């Protein structure tokens, strides 16, 4: 019996996928549930398992876009599993044909060199000087290699000096995920009234808390006390204060959410992925750090599912891990706001009327000005700044150990 394997639906609204890689070769024997291919949808990379055991015949090539429900391979389930390694084809090697000997090319007689070689005539020298061209870069056609007036007229200034290095180039097809990301980014720029506001955060208080409690936190909970839990908590507090930032446009209506599903931008092997922390407002510091770790690992290992990246009411992205000092993050539609974190650098600040050195991070909020006013956007970012600079009071209710579950 020959089984036709069709492309399963990876998720709602996805109509086609792209064959990213075949993990088996045509004619191989495959086991049931063995991963035989990787397919790219516009949201994630997924593995395609064999539905039955047998000899496989591939019906699509790497890079092909195939519709959901289309046959991509055949599996002959009646075929028996071959014993040991596959035998050689048994084809006899054809004797190599002797190539006819090529006659050595005749050596060109060297041009006669003299004092005139490469020397411009007076008229040619004047033209070359006006053009700013060195005589040594011009090949003379006159007697014994002299540069003539005609040579000088035809000579062109060099637009760039070849270095002799590799000047090759390569061309590769964009994956379906990368193409979808590109479309969404352009759509966000074209279809929203995007604006960005900036602020700076003195991270001293968070540094002190992490220095004092990070070892206890990791020993008890098995995860690190990172910056993401503080930022997520600060964002949730600010969203509750400014609910329009936790909203999105649907036609002529504005939908405001009473929950906080926080999307976190993660760089995966196939590009940027944005898994979602569901109901982050109900999670503790430990809960947020555990979920961030779980989602980041799944994204980087290519195991993230479409459901885990669907939805989200607000996004946090951290370009600081790559060394970014400042950026204007692009909104993740249909959301209306995204917070950009950046690198932390010791900078001179004024504290209590005196100059001090402190770890400072620049933060940026990009927002859709169609439903979020300047007052609300600035107020939101200030609320985030206040919470991060006074985390014990505003994020932990004055009890650090209870908040960290120590």
Q: Which of 26, 33, 373, 397 is catalytic?
A: 373
Q: Give the tokens for residue 365.
A: 């909020």
Unique residue bearing structure tokens 């007076």: 122
Known catalytic residue: 369? yes
Cα-based angle 401, 403, 404 (whole degrees, multiple of 5) = 65
Write b or e for each residue in 133-160: b if 16 or more Cβ atoms lie within 10 A of its Cβ, otherwise e.
bebeebebebeebbbbbebbeebeeeee
Q: Are strands 253-256 and 35-40 parallel, antiparallel or unpaired?
A: unpaired
Q: Give the tokens for residue 35.
A: 């991963």
Length of the chain: 406
Q: How far apart are CA 272 and CA 293, in angstroms?
A: 16
Known catalytic residue: 373? yes
Helix (H), strand (E) at residue 262: strand 262-264
Return the DSSP state at 404: T
Q: Evaluate whether 275 touches 304 at the Cβ level (below 8 Å).
A: yes
Q: Which of 21, 33, 64, 369 is catalytic?
A: 369
Burial classification of residue 47, based on how many CB atoms lie within 10 Å of its CB (0-12 exposed, 13-18 middle, 19 or more buried): middle
Q: Evaluate whether 320 touches 341 at the Cβ level (below 8 Å).
A: yes
What residues are annotated to the active site? 369, 373
């Amino acid at each position: 019996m020959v089984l036709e394997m069709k492309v399963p639906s990876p998720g709602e609204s996805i109509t086609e996928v792209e064959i990213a890689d075949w993990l088996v070769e045509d004619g191989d024997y495959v086991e049931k549930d063995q991963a035989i291919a990787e397919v790219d949808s516009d949201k994630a990379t997924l593995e395609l398992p064999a539905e039955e055991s047998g000899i496989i015949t591939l019906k699509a090539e790497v890079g092909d876009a195939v519709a959901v429900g289309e046959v991509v391979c055949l599996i002959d389930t009646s075929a028996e599993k071959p014993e040991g390694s596959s035998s050689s084809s048994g084809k006899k090697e054809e004797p190599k044909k002797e190539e006819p000997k090529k006659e050595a090319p005749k050596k060109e007689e060297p041009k006669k060199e003299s004092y005139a070689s490469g020397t411009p005539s007076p008229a040619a020298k004047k033209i070359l000087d006006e053009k700013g061209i060195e005589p040594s870069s011009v090949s003379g056609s006159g007697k014994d290699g002299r540069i003539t007036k005609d040579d000088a007229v035809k000579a062109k200034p060099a637009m760039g000096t070849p270095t002799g290095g590799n000047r090759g180039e390569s061309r590769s097809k964009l994956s379906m995920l990368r193409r979808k990301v590109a479309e969404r980014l352009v759509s966000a720029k074209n279809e929203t009234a995007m604006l960005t506001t900036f602020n700076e955060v003195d991270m001293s208080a968070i540094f002190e808390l992490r220095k004092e409690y990070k070892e206890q936190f990791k020993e008890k909970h098995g995860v690190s006390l990172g910056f993401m839990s503080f930022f997520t908590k600060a964002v949730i507090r600010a969203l509750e204060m400014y609910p329009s930032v936790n909203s999105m446009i649907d036609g002529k209506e504005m939908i405001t959410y009473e929950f906080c599903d926080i999307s976190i931008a993660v760089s995966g092997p196939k590009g940027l992925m944005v898994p979602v922390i569901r109901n982050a407002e109900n999670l503790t510091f430990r809960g947020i750090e555990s979920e961030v770790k779980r989602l980041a690992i799944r994204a980087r290992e290519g195991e993230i599912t479409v459901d885990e990246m669907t939805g989200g009411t607000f996004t946090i992205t951290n370009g600081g891990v790559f060394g970014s000092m400042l950026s204007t993050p692009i909104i993740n539609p249909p959301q209306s706001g995204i917070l950009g974190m950046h690198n932390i650098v010791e900078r001179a600040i004024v504290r209590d009327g005196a100059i001090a050195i402190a770890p400072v991070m620049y933060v940026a909020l990009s927002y859709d000005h169609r439903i979020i006013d300047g007052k609300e956007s600035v107020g939101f970012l200030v609320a985030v700044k206040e919470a991060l600079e006074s985390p014990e009071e505003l994020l932990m209710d004055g009890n650090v150990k209870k908040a960290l579950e120590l």
